[in-house]
Amino acid sequence: MTILEVKNLNLGFQCEDIFRQALFDVSFSLEKGEILSIVGESGCGKTMSAMSILQLLPKTARITKGEIIFNGENLLTKTNKDMQHIRGSKIALIPQDPMTSLNPLYTVGDQLLEIIKIHQGLSGDAAYQKAIEAFDMVQIPAAKSRLKNYPHEFSGGMKQRAIIAMALACQAEILIADEPTTALDVTIQAQIMTLLNEIKNNNKTSILLITHDLALVSENADKIAVMYAGRIVETANNKEFFTNPKHPYTNALLKSIPSNREKKLETIKGQPPTLSQQIDGCKFNPRCEYCMDICKKEIPNLKTIENEHKYACFLD
């Protein structure tokens, strides 16, 4: 069952008197109980696509076209008040740096209880029990005493678990995890991803995983969408993506995964374009080793091959 559908999303930034488009007809869907990963280099538009869902965008950003359908309703028609309710209780954000979500002046328990009070209308003992349950679910030991701690008394991994506990306490249907493990060491990264997978399987929670880490994606995502310069250039299920990648950019990304120590890692030449850079045709053409004349004149549309595998390239 499709829980979220982003359709033809166009977004740009007002830079003084010039409007610069950053997202071009971005479309993807998220099923109940699945992990969809959006991957790409910094600045490709993956975080902006995710933040559009929550409508947590910079002041200069403007959505000019598209729909974001959540449980049958277009989120782009919702008021700020509606969105405040949806954020946290229906769709929750797990940020890269959990300190940006935790207030250092209050105990983690107070912050969790406040969220339970706002989103579930519980108080007193009922709210306290819910907080303990949430800590148990994310495997924070000694929940009762840990609830009394301030954020600085938690390690990075524990802070991330506390953020996930806040999302679970509100029974969020979708978790948007924006580079959730980047700030953590490798062992803790694996623990957090195991926890997210357990939540997906046990609660049928859907997860939108934003990352540049393809090794993490290969082990965890059910479906992958690759973004380049504000466009989705390839999307496929995990098996298709890793066994039959089609877009030259996807292939270049895959060659840069550190999977084989014997093999020298390949890098992608050049840099992704900035918003102000004008590139005619396919935006990847200055970096593409297969670039043809047409690539400098026309923008390739997404074409579908088998199993909902789509890619945008003039190559067959």
Site residues for ligand SF4 per CB under 6 A:
248, 282, 284-285, 288, 290-292, 295, 300, 313-315
Could you tell me the smallest distance in angstroms from the CB atom of residue 44 to ligand SF4?
14
**115 or 295, CB closer to ligand SF4?**
295
Could you tell me the smallest distance in angstroms from the CB atom of residue 300 to ligand SF4?
5
**36 or 282, CB closer to ligand SF4?**
282
**242 or 314, CB closer to ligand SF4?**
314
DSSP letter string over 250-268?
HHHHHHTS---TTSPPP--
Could you tell me the smallest distance in angstroms from the CB atom of residue 311 to ligand SF4?
9
Could you tell me the smallest distance in angstroms from the CB atom of residue 6 to ligand SF4?
23
Q: Cβ neighbours of residue 181 under 8 Å, at least 6 residues apart? A: 160, 188, 189, 192, 193, 213, 216
Measure the CA–CA gap between 56 and 77, rounded to whole angstroms.
Answer: 15
Could you tell me the smallest distance in angstroms from the CB atom of residue 27 to ligand SF4?
19
Question: Which run of H or E residues covers position 89?
Answer: helix 80-89
CA count, 13 A, side-chain hemisphere, 8: 5
| CB contact burial 77-109 (16+ within 10 A = b; e otherwise) | ebeeeebeebbbbbbbbbbbebeebbeeeebbb
CA separation (Å) from 108 to 78, 139, 144, 191? 30, 15, 11, 20
**135 or 241, CB closer to ligand SF4?**
241
**108 or 313, CB closer to ligand SF4?**
313
Both tokens of residue 208?
A: 């939108």
**135 or 228, CB closer to ligand SF4?**
228
Could you tell me the smallest distance in angstroms from the CB atom of residue 288 to ligand SF4?
3
DSSP secondary structure letter of residue 29: E
